[in-house]
Amino acid sequence: MKDSLLADRARQTAQAVDHLFDQLFAVPQDPRRSLYEAMRHAAIGGGKRLRPLLVSATGDLFNVAQDSALRVGVAVECIHVYSLVHDDLPAMDNDDMRRGRPTVHRAFDEATAILAGDCLHDMAFEILVDEATHGDPFVRCELVKALALASGPAGMAGGQMMDLEAEKASFDLPTVTRLQQLKTGALIGFCVEAGAILGHVPHEGRTGLRGYARDIGLAFQIVDDLLDVEGDEALAGKALGKDAAAGKETFVSLLGVERAREQAHMLVDQAKAHLHGFGAQADLLRAIADYIVERDR
Amino acid sequence: MKDSLLADRARQTAQAVDHLFDQLFAVPQDPRRSLYEAMRHAAIGGGKRLRPLLVSATGDLFNVAQDSALRVGVAVECIHVYSLVHDDLPAMDNDDMRRGRPTVHRAFDEATAILAGDCLHDMAFEILVDEATHGDPFVRCELVKALALASGPAGMAGGQMMDLEAEKASFDLPTVTRLQQLKTGALIGFCVEAGAILGHVPHEGRTGLRGYARDIGLAFQIVDDLLDVEGDEALAGKALGKDAAAGKETFVSLLGVERAREQAHMLVDQAKAHLHGFGAQADLLRAIADYIVERDR
C-alpha cells in the first residue's frame, strides 16, 4: 500500500512539475529562442523529481495547499537542474549524457548551457517570491533566504567546490561527509524545511524534520556512490564509474561496499525514527526514505 | 559643485561596497577557500560601482536609509559581477583581462569561475531578502522579484543570449536597441526602481524614474560602443575593439560615430527632463546622467 502511495504521488508530482515548467518556459519568437529551448531541454521530462516530492510530502503534514508546495518544488527543481547543467560542462564534470539524453552543452553549445543554467537559477527565485506561491510575504522571504543559503557557497555550490578539490586531495570520512552534506544534503534539507515553512511551523518545531532530511540526504549519496560502482548505465541515463576514475574518495572507497550499504540502511531507519511524532500522514515521507535505499537508478 | 557631489558620493559608495563585500566574503579555512577567494577577486576593488550609486541616488529622493540602499546596491553589484565572470569565460567572450586584472578563470580556473559566478548569483538574493536590508517583508519580496526579472531570461541573461546570436545574424537598429535594453538596461532599470521600492513609491509614481533609467541605460551602452572603437585599453582595463572583430552590429556600426554620439547626448538630456518634478535632491541623478556621456572608461 505504501508502495502505491509513493508511486501514485511520484507520478502526479512529475506530471505537475512538467506541466508548470511547460507553462513557465514558453518559447519566444525572437533571438532568445534557443535559450528557452535549452532551459526546456534541461528541465522538462525526466528526473526522479525527488525534491518536489519531498516538499509536497512534508507539506502534507501541515495541510499545506498542493499548489503552494508544487510551486516551491518547481523552484527547487530549477536550482537542481541548473546545477546539473553547469556541473556537466567540459570545465566541470565534462558529461555527454544526462537523463538518457545529450547534456545541454552537447545538444546546444557551451555558452547557451551556461546562460540556460543562469536563467534557471533566476527562475527559482522568481517563482518562490511570486505571490501565487504563497500570499504571506514573511513566508516568501523565509523561503528565498533558505533556498539562497542551500544553493550558495555555504550549501550546494560550496559542496561542488569541495568535490572539485577532492580530485587533488585525499579526503577522509568526515570531510567526504561534510562535502556531501553541502553538495546534496543542503538542497534536500531545504525541501523538507520548505514544507514546514509553508505550514507556518516555527524553527524549534522543525528539529525532527531536519534530522530526517540530514539522514535521507546522506543515505541518498551513499546509494549514489554504490550505484556509481555497481549500477547500470542504461538505467542511470548517464556515465558511471567516474569517481574511481577521477581518484576521488567516496563513501564506498572509504567504507567498502558492504559497510556503505549497511550505513545507508541504518540512516534510513534513523530517518524514519525522526518521524515518530507523526501518524499516517507521514507515510509518504517514510516511503520516500525506503525508496532511497532500494532504488536502482 | 555637481562634479564634486558626484565624485564624493561615488568614492563613498565604492568604499562602502568594498567594505561590505569584505565582510560578506570572509574566507573559510576549508576546501572551499579558493571559491571564496575567486568571489573576492571578482567583486572587491575596482569597477565604477555605477549600479550601487544609482540605488543610493534614487533612494535620496525618498529619504531611504543609506544602509538599506547600500545593501540593495551590493546585491545588484553581485549580479553584475557574476555576469561579468560568466561572460568572460572562454565559451562566451573569452576575455583575459577585466578591471585591469586577470579574469577569474585566468587567475583561478574555469570550474572555479563558473562556481564563483553561481555563488555571487545566490548571494545577491540572500542579501536582498535579509531582514537587515529592509524590515518590511513586502518590500523585500518586491525587490527579489524585480531583481530576478531583471537578471533572468527576460532581462540581462536574455540580452546576453541575443548578444551571442548577434555574431551569427545581422541585427537592425530596433533589434540592437532591444538587445541592449535587456543586456544592460534591465539591471540599470532595477537600480532606479529599487530606490523607489525602498521609498514605498507605488508603481504609478515611478513612470518618470523608469524613463530616466531607460534613457541613461541606452546612453550608457552607446558610449560603451563608442569607447570600444575609440577608447584606451589601459584606461578601460580590458580588451577593446572586440565587437567589430566579431562582426557584431552596434550603435556605432549602424549609426556611425557622430550620430551615435549625438544620440547619447540627446538621451541624457531626455533622461534629465524626466526628473523635472524633483528639486535639488535629484542633482546626483542628473550628475550621473552627465557622467555617463562624458566618461572616458
Residues in chain A: 297
**Interface contact A145, partner B, CB < 8 A:** yes
**Interface contact B158, partner A, CB < 8 A:** yes
pLDDT per residue as tens digits for the range A32-62: 999 999 999 999 998 899 999 999 999 999 9
**Interface contact B130, partner A, CB < 8 A:** yes
DSSP A108: S
The cell for B129 is 531578502
pLDDT per residue as tens digits for the range B24-58: 999 999 999 999 999 999 999 988 999 999 999 99
Cβ neighbour number for residue B132 with a 10 Å cutoff? 9
CATH number at residue A268: 1.10.600.10
Cα–Cα dist B121/A123, whole Å: 12
From A119, which residue of chain B is nearest by alpha-carbon distance?
B152
**Interface contact B126, partner A, CB < 8 A:** yes
Tell which phi-psi region holds residue A97, choosing left (phi > 0), alpha (psi between -120 and 50) or beta: beta
From B130, which residue of chain A is nearest by alpha-carbon distance?
A145
Does the pLDDT of residue A2 top 70, yes or no? Answer: no
3-class DSSP assignment, residue A98: strand
Partner-chain contact A118 B157, CB within 8 Å: yes
3-class DSSP assignment, residue A102: strand
pLDDT band at A1 (very low <50, low <70, confident <90, very high): very low
- Quote the crossing angle between the two packed helices B66-87 and B50-61, to the nearest 10°: 150
Q: What percent of chain A clears pLDDT 90, i.e. is strictly above it? A: 89
Which residues span the domain enclosing B181? 2-294
3-class DSSP assignment, residue B98: strand
Number of separate domains in chain A = 1
Partner-chain contact B31 A152, CB within 8 Å: no
From B119, which residue of chain A is nearest by alpha-carbon distance?
A152
Partner-chain contact A153 B110, CB within 8 Å: no
Return the pLDDT at B1.
46
Top residue of B89, B118, B120 to mutate, by most chain A CBs within 10 Å, is: B118
Task: Give the distance between the most distant pair of CA atoms in chain A.
Answer: 55
Least CB-CB distance to A119: which of B115, B153, B166?
B153
**Interface contact A111, partner B, CB < 8 A:** yes
User: Using an 8 Å Cβ cutoff, are A241 and A229 in contact?
Assistant: yes
* Burial class of residue A23, CB neighbours in 10 A (0-12, 13-18, 19+): exposed
Least CB-CB distance to A122: which of B123, B148, B161?
B148
pLDDT per residue as tens digits for the range A180-208: 999 999 999 999 999 999 999 999 999 99
Cα–Cα dist A215/A272, whole Å: 9
Does the pLDDT of residue A17 top 90, yes or no? Answer: yes
Restricting to A residues 182-201, those with a Cβ less than 8 Å away from any Cβ of B are none
- Low-confidence stretches of chain B (pLDDT beneath 70): 1-2
The interface predicted TM-score of the complex, written ipTM, equals 0.97
Q: Give how far A248 is from chain B: nearest CA, Å.
A: 14
Strand B97-98 to B101-102 pairing: antiparallel
Restricting to A residues 46-105, those with a Cβ less than 8 Å away from any Cβ of B are 83, 86, 89, 91-92
Partner-chain contact A89 B157, CB within 8 Å: no
Residue with cell 567516474: A242
pLDDT per residue as tens digits for the range B270-288: 999 999 999 999 999 999 9
**Interface contact B36, partner A, CB < 8 A:** yes
